[in-house]
């Protein structure tokens, strides 16, 4: 991921084809509209941004035909030279988690991208089948820690008997997974760019892995917020922008211009 970010800039663009965006683009809320939207974004950006993150739910809502579009998107992203994060947020136990691991990190699986998002809130240990398969297959994993939705704090900021927040326990577990990896590990965390007080309340210094930071643009965070939220850890941050870029469609040129502006803005903020 460092190589891709180094050559293309630190930006992850989401593919979130929700009904309002399809309508804004003049597309129908069906598989045909989904396909046109998705493949236009891939055409516009796969050869110029570092990372593209399809949100699996917007494909799954159309059943097998929608999942087939997601599979085509992952091929197109790979062919364009970008990395892909499948935003699936899966989390379960035992054989069910092993099945999710096969789907999203298994060698040869059509749903396997370069990384996948997962939820640790059934206990970090419940992720072990996916973490082990991902390590063997070279797939990255982003673990939810401090999410950008306001409801997240109800669980993530709760304190355990040792005084640590649930989020810090997740962060520490990720750090343990990455311990000794060089230059960095392949397990990252998701920390929203809208989350205030991260540095005061949570220690990100030992993660030794990437930090996926959603919330830039429509959710209210700006590139300049990255310095305040992440402080010294900002070198590890991969900011995510979805609607801020996607809203510039449906033309390929508009999407490319919006993505270029976002790359410039986040690079200035992160490297200042």
Q: Write out the two tokens for 256.
A: 């490319």
pLDDT in tens, 7-64: 999 999 999 999 999 999 999 999 999 999 999 999 999 999 999 999 999 999 999 9
List the helix and strand counts (H, then E) for the chain: 13, 8
Look up residue 160 and give its DSSP letter: P
Q: Give me the pLDDT at residue 6, please.
A: 85
266 contacts 239 by C-beta, under 8 angstroms: yes
pLDDT band for 218, please (50, 70, 90 cuts): low
Please, what are the domains in the chain? 2-271 (3.20.20.70)
Tell me whether residue 89 is one of the annotated catalytic residues.
yes
136 contacts 161 by C-beta, under 8 angstroms: no
Q: Write out the two tokens for 73.
A: 């998107």
Question: Can you tell me the distance from the alpha carbon of 72 to that of 77, in angstroms, rounded to the nearest whole number?
Answer: 9
Mean pLDDT, rounded, for 128-143? 98
pLDDT in tens, 165-200: 999 999 999 999 999 999 999 999 999 988 876 767
Question: Can you tell me the distance from the alpha carbon of 116 to that of 88, in angstroms, rounded to the nearest whole number?
Answer: 7
Give me the chain's average pLDDT, please. Answer: 94
Q: Give me the pLDDT at residue 198, please.
A: 76
pLDDT at 221 over 80: no
More confident residue, 80 or 152: 80
Catalytic residue among 53, 89, 164, 268: 89
Mean pLDDT, rounded, for 81-109? 97
What's the helix, strand, coil split of the chain in %, to 5? 50, 15, 35
Question: Can you tell me the distance from the alpha carbon of 151 to that of 6, in angstroms, rounded to the nearest whole number?
Answer: 34
Question: Can you tell me the distance from the alpha carbon of 105 to that of 94, in angstroms, rounded to the nearest whole number?
Answer: 16
Question: Can you tell me the distance from the alpha carbon of 177 to that of 186, in angstroms, rounded to the nearest whole number?
Answer: 9
More confident residue, 225 or 160: 160
């Amino acid at each position: 991921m460092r190589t891709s970010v180094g050559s293309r800039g630190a930006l992850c663009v989401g593919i979130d084809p929700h009904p309002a965006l399809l309508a804004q683009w003049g597309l129908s809320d069906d598989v045909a509209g989904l396909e046109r939207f998705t493949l236009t974004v891939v055409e516009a950006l796969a050869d110029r941004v570092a990372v593209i993150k399809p949100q699996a739910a917007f494909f799954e809502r159309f059943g097998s035909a929608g999942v087939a579009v997601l599979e085509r998107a992952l091929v197109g992203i790979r062919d364009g030279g970008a990395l892909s994060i499948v935003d699936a947020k899966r989390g379960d136990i035992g054989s069910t988690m092993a099945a999710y691991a096969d789907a999203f990190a298994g060698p040869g699986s059509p749903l396997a991208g370069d990384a996948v998002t997962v939820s640790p809130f059934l206990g970090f240990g419940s992720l072990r089948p996916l973490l082990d398969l991902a390590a063997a297959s070279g797939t990255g994993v982003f673990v939810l820690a401090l999410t950008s939705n306001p409801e997240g704090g109800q669980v993530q900021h709760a304190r355990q008997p040792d005084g640590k927040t649930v989020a810090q326990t997740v962060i520490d577990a990720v750090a343990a997974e990455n311990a000794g990896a060089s230059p960095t590990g392949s397990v990252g965390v998701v920390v929203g760019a809208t989350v205030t007080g991260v540095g005061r309340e949570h220690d990100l210094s030992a993660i030794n892995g990437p930090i996926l930071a959603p919330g830039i643009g429509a959710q209210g965070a700006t590139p300049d917020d990255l310095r305040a939220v992440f402080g010294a850890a900002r070198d590890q941050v991969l900011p995510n922008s979805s609607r801020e870029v996607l809203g510039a469609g449906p033309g390929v040129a508009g999407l490319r211009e919006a993505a270029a502006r976002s790359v410039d803005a986040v690079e200035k903020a992160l490297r200042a």
